[in-house]
Structure 1
Amino acid sequence: MENTLTNDFNENQPTVGDKTALVTIIGRPSAGKSTFLNTASGEMVSIVSAIPQTTRNAIRGIVNTSLGQLVFVDTPGYHESSKKMNLKMRAIVADQLENADSILYVIDSTRPCGDEEKLITLLLKGHEEKTVAAINKTDEAGSNPRSARDFLSKELPGLSEKNIFEISAKNDEGIDDVLRALYALAPVAPHLYPEEFYTDQEVDFRIAEVIREQAINRLDQEIPHCVYVQIADMEMRSPTKMWCRAFLCVEKESQKGIVIGKGAQMIKTIRVESIKQLRKIFDYKIDLDLQVKVDKNWRQNDLRLNKLLK
């Protein structure tokens, strides 16, 4: 499926050398990084939830326009934590920064820029010349972009004012301005992916993420953080139909009943809504066999974390 931005962006830009850049997106949990990526690429690349720490992996989304190709890497929310899983996700963020041609720093303008935000600016020290800042959620009540600008001026004085933008990723406001700034920083280079690509995610990963999104948006309290999805089997049974068996895995036996729900209503809803979303992504139907099982204390299992978090 081809990426689309606004027609105005593509039609009114001067032709320049073909540019390509690997852009790492960084920000606190729930800053709107995944929403930005989905809006910019015009596709559901990264799952979105009000639950913090929804993104667990480095997710790639690809934007192709007349100016070239931007390959965005959506990273887990960066924050202070001593938990093993969160430390692993922080390491993913740090690794992606080193490989980036440029960096998109997304700030939630509805929350004060405190100690967690300072952790991010410490990571960005020395990278200011290749950083673009997007002050997000300016459409929401309580937004204070002036405070975010003051914070950036103090903590990242090397960040150019012309590379700071106020946006609403949810409402697609200011996105094109951010993209233009990133293209200005991008080197002239061959594209990394064919133009019809908007992500490089494997089919099993995409299915697992859609299921996890539908689950965490329906489960309360700590359950969303205790869930991961295991794809056990996939089989194309015709050119237009795939069969897939997947497991929603939880840490404790007591959580299993919550995910299944009374009369199996919760797991049924998650399955049905997942199938609806998958039909929007793939050009074939997916018949989903979804079950729940316990993987005791999986968030403390190094082998499991190394397999799940990349």
Structure 2
Amino acid sequence: MKSGFCAIVGRPSAGKSTLLNAIIGEKVSITSSSPQTTRNKVRGILTKEEQGQIVFIDTPGYHNSEKKFNQYMMEVVDSTLVEDADLILYVIDMTRSPGREEEELISMILKTNLPLLLCLNKSDVAKSAKEEIYTWLESKNIQNTIEVSAAKEKGLDELMGQLFDIAPEGEYLYPPDYYTDQTPEFRIAEIIREETINRLSQELPHSVYIEVSDIEIDEEKNIMWIRAFIQVEKESQKGIVVGKGGKQIKEIRQSSQKSLGKIFTQRIHMDLRVKVNPKWRRKDNLVKDLLS
């Protein structure tokens, strides 16, 4: 029996979250066309009766930045590799040439001496950087690779077979029917953030966070009541989120309720509003809580 924690790492927009959702077969990690959507260590649990259990940890996209908020996210990647992982799945976008981030990230990975599988993603689109990537991997003496398409769900069975091969021996870490260990509050906040980003990615992709202030469940009526706030940094951003006549926030609320209805068994009723929290990304305690 195999079991272990597998860190999923890579540059922004490499397709890590899409890959995780495809592997688990459930929506575990939110996705967006905007880079740096993932902020936390998001866990997805895959159990195969004949092989074992792998707990995947989706991490923020690794990139260079002087901004404090982005530096905190890079600390999430580092702590996952050093403290949490038993094996590593490094996701590389086949349409982009290896750059500075790849050099820094592979250096961090190799220092861990953990079992490693290189996942070359987006094999369904033009592999414009394929030759460069393989040359770069050869220079690092890395041969354990696989090509997949997370979007088309191609190559996943072979991917999982290789991961179970390199995973350590062990018993189940979670009950076999679990596919994530996320709290309801976290899942609700992430879905609302996803719906907000997907509508406003050009205006304020990283200027929002979600506060879930209250959840109540009426078991008799099978309803989950949610009160949540979209927090922004500026008064002008509040207007963008609300939209003309409240149209934008209404659409965010409705689409969030629909998405959450696919996750929870109750019917979702949501009170969603917008708050201004000036310069929240510079507030250390708040940021650490958000990224924990």
Please say which of residues 294-303 and 230-239 is displaced more in the overlay: 230-239
Tell me what 1:85 maps to: 69
Give the SS at the match of 2:124.
Answer: coil
Q: What letter matches 1:234 in structure 2?
A: I
| Distance across 2 between alignment mates of 1:182 and 1:81 | 31
In 2, the alpha carbon distance for the partners of 1:299 and 1:248 equals: 14
1:221-260 pair list within 5 angstroms: 221-239=202-220, 240-260=222-242
Equivalent of 1:139 in 120, 124, 127: 124
2:98 and 2:133 in contact (8 A); partners too:
yes
Q: For residues 252 and 264 of structure 2, what CA distance do their matches in structure 1 show?
A: 18
Query: Helix, strand or coil: the match of 1:224?
Result: coil
Deviation readout 1:245-289 (Å, 9 max, x if unpaired): 000000000100000001111100000000110011111112111
Q: CA RMSD, aligned part only?
A: 1.2
Residue 93 of structure 1 aligns to a residue in which SS? helix
Q: Does 1:284 align with 2:269?
A: no
Identity among equivalent pairs (%) = 48
Matched, 1:191 2:176: no
Q: Is the CA contact (8 Å cut-off) linking 1:138 and 1:144 kept in structure 2?
A: no
* Kept after mapping to 1: 8 A contact 2:193/2:210: yes
Q: Distance in 2 between matches of 1:177 and 1:143?
A: 23
Residues 117-159 of structure 1, C-alpha deviations (whole Å, 9 max, x = no match): 11211111234651100000111135432322211121x31x3
Question: Which structure 1 segments of 5+ residues have no match?
Answer: 1-17
Alignment partner of 1:96 out of 72, 80, 88:
80
TM-score, L = length of structure 1: 0.91
SS in 2 for 1:289: strand
Query: Does the aligned pair in 2 maintain the 1:28–1:117 contact within 8 Å?
Result: yes
Q: Give yes or no for contact 1:229–1:246 (8 Å, CA) kept in 2.
A: yes
1:26 corresponds in structure 2 to 9
TM-score by length of 2: 0.96
Gaps of 5+ in 2: none
In the TM superposition, what whole-angstrom CA distance separates every residue of 1:15-44 from its partner, at most 9, and x where no partner exists? xxx210110000001100001100000000
Cross-structure match for 1:148: 133
User: Aligned partners of 1:222, 1:70: CA distance in 2, in Å?
Assistant: 37
1:42-191 superposed matches below 5 A: 42-65=25-48, 66-98=50-82, 99-127=84-112, 130-154=115-139, 156-157=140-141, 159=142, 161=143, 163-191=144-172
* Alpha-carbon distance between aligned partners in 1 of 2:127 and 2:289, rounded to the nearest angstrom: 39
> Are 2:24 and 1:41 aligned?
yes
Deviations 1:96-123 (CA, angstroms, capped at 9, x unpaired): 1122110000001111111121121111
Q: Secondary structure at the match of 2:205?
A: helix
**Could you tell me how far apart the structure 1 residues matched to 2:160 and 2:135 are?**
23
d(CA) in 2 for partners of 1:249, 1:121 = 35
Residue identity matched to 2:5: L
User: Contact 1:137 / 1:143 at 8 angstroms: preserved in 2?
Assistant: no
Q: Partners of 2:128 and 2:46 in 1: how far apart?
A: 28
Q: Tell me by how many angstroms 1:220 deviates.
A: 3.8
Deviations 1:214-262 (CA, angstroms, capped at 9, x unpaired): 0000004241210100001111122511101000000000100000001
SS at match of 2:206: helix
Q: 1:304 to 1:129 in 2, by over 3 A?
A: closer
Q: How does 1:4-15 map to 2 (within 5 A)?
A: none
